[in-house]
Structure 1
Amino acid sequence: MRLLLIRHGQTPSNVEALLDTAVPGAALTALGEQQAAALPEALADEDIEALYVSTLVRTQLTAAPLAAARGLEPLVRDGIREVSAGDLEMLPGDSEHGLLYMKTVFAWAAGETELRMPGGESGTEALARYDAVVAEAAASGAGTVAMVSHGAAIRMWTAARADNVDVPFAAAHPLRNTGVVILDGSPRDGWKALSWAGALVAPAGEGGPAGRPVDTE
């Protein structure tokens, strides 16, 4: 299966650098709406057969233009929502609170899944819910699936599950609004990241360290 993980468009909380992870969350800014409107053209070459969104409003608004263009009904799944900030909810993300949040997220991706976000979920719980939605999509038989999800969740899951993306790469490459990570594989056979926000990703051992971009044009 070809899996497109798409970060939602810009929100006011993004502009203010807030850890906004609770449902329903913020809507899109005017720029976020423009980003969403550009998705159908940006993904014109992708034969998307199923479209998933999270329970947060921003993913549903981001997916709406793509759904309309392709005649798809978005499937709402809680499993691909953002990593819960717990006690850090709505605190500044560009502070020690944000550092703790991302440190915990990447520790999960590195295998320390027993750790728990302060007042929130554990890595085991976060990965399990995301895995469940990906497994559902794979079982549907669709060749290409798009999921409009969230930055930290996408980076965490990809670093944990893609054979050729490691934590240092995911940590060093934030995903901009409506940025897309494209993977190929299956829950049974594993996953390989093909591109990260337009940059090709080298297979592990075939071009340097895991997750090393080989073409950033």
Structure 2
Amino acid sequence: MRLVLVRHGQTPSNVDYLLDTAVPGPGLTELGERQAAALPGALADEDVEALYASTLVRTQLTAAPLAAARGLDVRVRDGIREIAAGDLEMAPGGSAPGERYMRTAFAWAAGDVELRMPGGESGAEFLARYDAVVAEAAASGAGTVVLVSHGAAIRTWAAARADNVDVPFAAGHRLANTGTVILEGSPADGWKALVWAGATVTPEGEGGPAGEELQARG
């Protein structure tokens, strides 16, 4: 299966660099709406057969233009919502609490899944809920599936599950609004990242796009 993970369009909280993870969350800014409108064109080469969004409003608004363009229903699932910030909710992204949020998430991807976000979920709980939606998508028989999700959730899940991506890679390659990570594989056989934010993912030591090396575990 080809799995296309898409971060939602820009929100007011993104503009203010706030750690805003609660449901239902804010809608999109005018720029976010334009980003969502551009998504069908950005994914024009993808034969999308199923489309999912999280329970946060911003992912559903981002998915709507793609759903309309492809004649697809948006399957809303709680499992692919953002990593819950717990006690760190609404902290500035560049603050100590914001940095702790990402350190905790990437610790999960590195294997410390019993670690818990302060006042929030554990890595095991996050990965289980995200895995469940991916497994549902795989079981549907669709060849290409789009999941409109969230930046930290996508980077953490991909670093934990893709055989050729490690934590330093995911930590060093942020996703802009409506940025994508494309993977291929299955829950049974594992996953390989093919594209990260528009750049081909190559094993360490092999040439990346424009002669640069995108460092991935390989």
> What band does the TM-score fall into relative to the shorter chain?
over 0.9
From the superposition, tell whether residues 168 and 127 of structure 1 become closer, same or farther in structure 2 (CA, over 3 Å).
same
Residue of structure 2 equivalent to 1:105: 105
Residue of structure 2 equivalent to 1:89: 89
TM-score relative to the length of structure 2: 0.95
Instruction: Map 1:32-181 onto structure 2 (within 5 A).
Output: 32-181=32-181
From the superposition, tell whether residues 130 and 213 of structure 1 become closer, same or farther in structure 2 (CA, over 3 Å).
farther
SS of residue paired to 2:55? coil
CA distance in 1, matches of 2:194, 2:14: 27
What percentage of residue pairs aligned between the two structures are identical? 77
AA at the equivalent of 1:169: F
1:214 maps to 2:203 = no
SS of residue paired to 1:178? coil
Q: Is the 8 A contact 1:114 1:123 kept in 2?
A: yes
CA distance in 2, matches of 1:119, 1:190: 31
Residue of structure 2 equivalent to 1:2: 2
Deviation track 1:113-168 (CA, whole Å, cap 9, x = no partner) reads 00000000000000000000000000000000000000000000000000000000
SS of residue paired to 2:125? helix
AA at the equivalent of 1:18: L
SS of residue paired to 1:26? coil
Q: Is the 8 A contact 1:25 1:56 kept in 2?
A: yes
AA at the equivalent of 2:61: L
1:190 maps to 2:190 = yes
Tell me the CA shift for residue 199 of structure 1: 0.3
CA distance in 2, matches of 1:75, 1:161: 22
Residue of structure 1 equivalent to 2:216: none
Tell me the CA shift for residue 213 of structure 1: 7.4
CA distance in 2, matches of 1:42, 1:116: 36
Instruction: Map 1:18-37 onto structure 2 (within 5 A).
Output: 18-37=18-37
Tell me the CA shift for residue 91 of structure 1: 1.3
Q: Is the 8 A contact 1:199 1:213 kept in 2?
A: no
* Unmatched segments (≥5 aa) in structure 2: 212-218
TM-score relative to the length of structure 1: 0.95
CA distance in 1, matches of 2:72, 2:63: 10
SS of residue paired to 1:195? strand
Q: Is the 8 A contact 1:198 1:216 kept in 2?
A: no
CA distance in 1, matches of 2:105, 2:95: 16
Q: Is the 8 A contact 1:52 1:147 kept in 2?
A: yes
CA distance in 1, matches of 2:195, 2:7: 14
Q: Is the 8 A contact 1:54 1:80 kept in 2?
A: yes
